[in-house]
Amino acid sequence: MENNTPATPTTITFESFGLHADILKAVVDAGFTEPSPVQAESIPLVLAGNDIVAQAQTGTGKTAAFGLSTMSMLDPHLNKVQLLVITPTRELATQVSDELYSLGRFRGVKTVTIYGGSSYSRQIGLIEKGASVIVATPGRMLDLLKNGRLPGFSPKMVVLDEADEMLDMGFLEDIEEIFTYLPKERQTLLFSATMPDPIKRLASKILNDPKFVSVTPKDHTTNEDIEQLYYVINEYERDDAMIRLLDALEPEKSIVFCRTKKEVDRLSTQLMAVGHAAKGLHGDMEQNQRESVIKAFRSSQIEILVATDVAARGLNVADISHVFNYHMPFDPESYVHRIGRTGRAGKKGTAITLVTPIEFHSMQRIGKKVGSKIEHRIVPSLRDVKENKLIKIAEDIKNAELNENATKLLVILEEEMDMSQIALKLLSNLLKENTPVGPDKIGLDKKTLESVVKNIEDRDGGRGGRSGGYRGNSGGGYRGNSGGSRDGGGYRGNSGGSRDGGGYRGTSSSTGSRDGGGYKGSNPRDGGSRDAARPPRGDGVPRSEGRGESRNPFAKEGSSSSAPREGGGYKGTRDSGDSRPPRAPRADRPSAPRSDAGRAPKAAPRNAYKKD
């Protein structure tokens, strides 16, 4: 009788690859149950001796993909280097070396980490003691090869890990030079999250008839386990927005990406000042400081790591729940690398980007480029955060386990207070330590954002795509850090408007108030009317007469004269309508001897540069 039951698809297991028994023992010890997609596709190809180019995101198991296969092919008894792994940063080199050691320890594989800032003699000594695997950064590796410190160096397998990051960091020429010192008969494996053209050209130079592995669909380059959000804020609101989101979301462990080292130091200090367990990480720190910060972050002694892109590259911490882009990354590749720090090993993660209105379209372009939906959200108000905090505290109290000393403490307190007073005082003490602070409203709501975006689009359409951000009718960029509002931020409008009020600068071009005062001559920036502040002249003729239009915005209609100024200068001569005769020329007037009697002393000249 014919059996029409469909065949059950074969499940891929690590045992099915034909890995060495000692390597399989390490797989079981590490808790791996089934291979990830990049492992399932790469391991058989590597074991078959092929060169490969593998494109997969950070956190998808690339290290095990090349580590399990290459170490199964090593002979640990040869006492020579057989595998060279090149990584972009010291941190990643250390992590990869540790993982390879863990996977190869039952087979007796020895690994050595090579990077700058450590002793040459110590590193060379460890290699000479019979290391099978070297994990190195490009700079130190090239230095050792150029200076002939590794005689007879001929690894049969070479791995480039995070190749696109090495390109971003300017190591491409070093990589090409390193390969001039390596044997031509070798197996080369290249792993990268993205495939820009320079990486493709490098692959064509150093690989021999490679097989291609890609576990990233063409229209999708980010992990589906990562929820991607953005919040539109004004430039001056970045710190407040960052603190508000940390208070509202309470991430278990997070990375905050900044563009500069100075920003890392400033923001990490600011977060610590408001009670968050945060530390900074950047390239100017000593190696022991960086290692100490990373160790504290891994062990959850600190919950927030504020870092630059370069410092955090290759950072492999499995339980990061949130990634924050304090500043928007410059390009889609950087965005992919940043958010790839969360949502690892099948866990869910959240990536949040702070965006100013002028960056709004750039954020949309990144979303299209990476093929992901990045959702817009509104920064929670202070009131909402406080209410949510109360609910959470109430839940924590309900679920708290009773402490044996609590009963003793309650008996002591009952001698002086009743139960309701005790409860209220305890809750007040608890709330004092858990009360969020800051402005109630941060960022732009949906309606305001739509209006701003429409204005930007209208301006670009009407001006042929003229560059610059939203400034009402006068073009220019969003002033943010490099200008704009001095005290309140927001948009510049046309040119005037309040400097202290924040928000939109309005459309007033000349009569805008700086501090709520009037108009000061021809300079609209200063408060108070010059004409209103000066007492009337003795001749009873308004100062505006004989000087063209009145400069007082509150002057009544018809109070100004359009007669031209005759005398020139600030004071000028009196209006031609003055009934008094003109003063005689100086030469026709009798001159009396000058006397200082009864005169008030002259005021000192108002010259800021004049010395006493």
Average pLDDT of the chain to the nearest whole number: 75
CA dist 344 and 356 (Å) reads 29
243-286 confidence digits (pLDDT tens): 999 999 989 899 999 988 899 999 999 999 988 999 999 888 88
- CA dist 326 and 352 (Å) reads 9
φ/ψ of 303, rounded to 5, equals -105, -20
pLDDT value at position 459?
A: 63
Give the residue carrying structure tokens 């990486």. Answer: 199
Distance between CA atoms of residues 180 and 161, nearest Å: 18
Angstrom distance (rounded) from CA 547 to CA 566: 8
Residue 137 C-beta-side C-alpha neighbours within 13 Å: 21
Tokens of residue 419, six digits: 């139960």
Q: How far is Cα 303 from Cα 249, in angstroms, rounded to an integer? A: 13
Please name the helix (run of DSSP H) or strand (run of DSSP E) that holds residue 293, with its range, or none: helix 287-298
- 478 closest CA partner among 446, 456, 500: 456
Q: What is the pLDDT of residue 461?
A: 56
Element (H, E) at 306: strand 304-308
Is the pLDDT at 292 greater than 80, yes or no?
A: yes
Confidence of residue 146 (pLDDT cuts 50, 70, 90): very high
| Cα dihedral 174/177/179/182 (nearest 10) | -120
Token pair, residue 325, equals 């882009």
| Domain range annotation of the chain | 15-214, 226-382, 516-553
Mean pLDDT of 120-128: 92
Are the C-beta atoms of residues 201 and 323 closer than 8 Å to each other?
Answer: no
- With a cut of 70, say whether residue 209 has pLDDT above it: yes
pLDDT attached to residue 474 = 38
Cα–Cα distance measured from residue 432 to residue 427, given in angstroms and rounded to the nearest whole number: 9
pLDDT at 148 over 50: yes
Amino acid at 31: G
Nearest to 227 by CA among 352, 344, 326, 325: 352
The span from the CA of 567 to the CA of 218, in Å, is: 77
Rg of the Cα trace of the chain? 36
User: Lowest mean pLDDT: which of 75-89, 295-309, 463-477?
Assistant: 463-477
Contact 19, 179 (CB under 8 A): no
**SS3 assignment, position 605:** coil
Choose among 389, 399, 482, 396: nearest CA to 432.
389
Cα angle 301, 303, 305; round to 5:
105
**Residue 303 confidence class, pLDDT cut points 50, 70, 90:** very high
Burial class (CB in 10 A: 0-12, 13-18, 19+), 429: exposed
Above 60 in pLDDT, residue 548? no
On the question of pLDDT at 543 being above 50, the answer is no
Task: Record the tokens describing residue 205, joined without a space.
Answer: 């130079």
Is 15-214's fold the same as 226-382's?
yes
CA neighbor of 176 nearest in space, from 137, 210, 203:
203
Find out whether 363 and 337 touch, Cβ atoms under 8 Å.
Answer: no
What is the spatial distance between Cα 390 and Cα 405, in angstroms, rounded to a whole number?
25
What span, in angstroms and rounded, lies between the C-alpha atoms of 502 and 519?
Answer: 20
Q: What is the dihedral of CA 113, 117, 118, 124, to 10 degrees?
A: 70
pLDDT of residue 94: 87
What pLDDT does residue 416 have? 84
The string of pLDDT tens digits covering residues 22-68 is 999 999 888 788 898 899 999 999 999 999 999 987 667 888 999 99
Q: What does the alpha-carbon distance between residue 85 and residue 109 come to, in Å, rounded to a whole number?
A: 14
Q: Averaged over 3-8, what is the pLDDT?
A: 44
pLDDT of residue 570 exceeding 50, the answer is no
The answer to whether residues 217 and 188 touch, using CB atoms and an 8 Å cutoff, is no
Q: What is residue 2's predicted lDDT score, i.e. its pLDDT?
A: 44
The partner residues of 157 in beta bridges, in order of sequence, read 83, 187
Q: How confident is the model at residue 457 (pLDDT cuts 50, 70, 90)?
A: low
pLDDT of residue 71: 92
Fold of 15-214: Rossmann fold (3.40.50)
Residue 178: pLDDT over 50: yes
Positive or negative torsion for Cα 396, 397, 398, 402: positive
pLDDT of residue 222: 62
Query: Are the C-beta atoms of residues 576 and 596 closer than 8 Å to each other?
Result: no
- Which of 137-146, 384-393, 510-519 shows the lowest per-residue confidence on average (mean pLDDT)? 510-519
- CATH number belonging to domain 226-382: 3.40.50.300
Contact residues for 244 (Cβ-Cβ < 8 A; gap 6+): 379, 380, 382, 385, 436, 438, 442
Q: Is 439 helix (H, G, I), strand (E, B) or coil?
A: coil
Longest dimension (CA), the chain: 142
552 or 442, greater pLDDT: 442
What's this model's pTM, rounded to 2 decimal places?
0.52
